[in-house]
Amino acid sequence: MAILKYNNVGITAIAAGVPKTVIDNYHYDLDIWPEEEVKKVVDKVGVIERRFVDEKTCASDLCYAAAEKLIADNNINKEEIDLLLFLSQTPDYRMPATSILLQNRLGLSMSTMAFDISLGCSGFISALSIVYAMMQNNGFHKALLLDGETRSKVYSRKDRREAFIFGDAGVAALIERDEKFGESHFSLNSDGSRGKLIMIPAGGYRNMSSVETLLEKVVDEYGNIRSDEHGHMNGADVFNFVIIEVPKDIKRLMVASGEDIQKMDYYVFHQANAFINNYIAKKMKLDKERIPWTIHKYGNTSSVSVPLTIVSELKDKMQGNKKLMLSAFGVGMAWATAIVPFVDCKISEIVEI
């Protein structure tokens, strides 16, 4: 059972980079969709604005900007960074790993261990757990966790199930050992039987790219259009998955850790969409004042949404000792819960690029 506990490791500083192009969702793609229809969808998903990169910009570029900001704001000696993780499902290339290229771009030492992690919405918590585990080894001094997504490049504009939800962003988190942190707890879960609920069917090696996979076609009775290289999502079954598994996992981790859910300073959820997030908050009977939100500003940025919400909404609220519950869920399906202490975490201003 992947219920894990770590000691004396934590996020000491965090920064985020977002594209400067703001999408006004109520007026997005009115050439494709009737205004009334757009309003209904946007009201339900609660994404008022989000950010899109241009064609040339990648998730790695957003992370790079965030990392440079983080390094400058905190006077970090680059020589001390010896672990670099890049978490994304929108990497630069199929090979080499984007993290290796980022080692060079960031001017980090060649004796840095760098690797990519390919997970979606749940990924930040899993990646954090991996870094915390690795940092138990004294050979590592400072770790940089980069988490970036350009979901604007993944979904079809002509498929209303996905067209109005996703946005782009990147974050950089510095992770260090320090006795001030104490215990952190993680619960990590996977269910590949639900792999088809959120998927880009083609473009990998199971269904390689071809003229056929690029063909756009009508996929349902509502007239939604996409190709096999676009992502798609079964909203009803994703919702079914979330309402069953997420509350259960949160309760399980609270029991395993002996923590009291009501005593968390903040509850940071993956920003899936406002409908799902409101429903979980209500179902879990949590104090809404302690649930920061960014779905209205940045949309669903997949794995980036949890750390982006921390940077965007908790910037001036993290002095001293804070205990955060993190909960994230999605593509895989994979889901995770964490209880992590933050002590005087240094949060940078969001960089726009």
Partner 1 sequence: MKSLDEFVELFAEQFDETDASEITATTVFHDLEEWSSLIGLSVIAMVDEEFDVALKGDDVKNSVTVEDLYNNVKSKL
Q: Which residues bind partner 1 (CB under 8 A)?
A: 40-41, 44, 161, 222, 234-237, 239-240, 243-244, 275, 279, 283
Residue number, 26 or 239, with CB nearest to partner 1:
239
CB neighbourhood size of 289 (10 A): 7
First-to-final CA distance of the chain: 41
For the bound state, the minimum distance from the C-beta of residue 204 to partner 1, rounded and expressed in Å, comes to 25
Closest CA to 59 of 141, 170, 155, 135: 170
SS3 content of the chain, % helix, strand, coil (to 5): 35, 30, 40
- The contacts of residue 272 (CB under 8 Å, 6+ apart) are 121, 238, 242, 295, 300, 305, 329, 330
- The contacts of residue 35 (CB under 8 Å, 6+ apart) are none
* Amino acid making up residue 287: D
Residue number, 235 or 292, with CB nearest to partner 1:
235
Residue number, 46 or 148, with CB nearest to partner 1:
46
Residue number, 30 or 244, with CB nearest to partner 1:
244
State the DSSP string of 90-105: S-S-SSS-HHHHHHHH
For the bound state, the minimum distance from the C-beta of residue 15 to partner 1, rounded and expressed in Å, comes to 35
For the bound state, the minimum distance from the C-beta of residue 84 to partner 1, rounded and expressed in Å, comes to 39
For the bound state, the minimum distance from the C-beta of residue 305 to partner 1, rounded and expressed in Å, comes to 19
Instruction: Characterize 265-280 residue by residue with b for buried, 16 or more Cβ atoms within 10 angstroms of its Cβ, and e for exposed.
Output: bbbbbbbbbbebbebb
Residue number, 33 or 346, with CB nearest to partner 1:
33
For the bound state, the minimum distance from the C-beta of residue 232 to partner 1, rounded and expressed in Å, comes to 12
Residue number, 205 or 222, with CB nearest to partner 1:
222
Alpha-carbon torsion (22, 27, 29, 33), positive or negative: positive
Residue number, 109 or 240, with CB nearest to partner 1:
240
Residue number, 20 or 44, with CB nearest to partner 1:
44
For the bound state, the minimum distance from the C-beta of residue 98 to partner 1, rounded and expressed in Å, comes to 34
For the bound state, the minimum distance from the C-beta of residue 44 to partner 1, rounded and expressed in Å, comes to 5
For the bound state, the minimum distance from the C-beta of residue 161 to partner 1, rounded and expressed in Å, comes to 7
Could you tell me the CA-to-CA distances from 30 to 25, 165, 183, 222, 347 in Å, in that order? 10, 15, 50, 17, 37
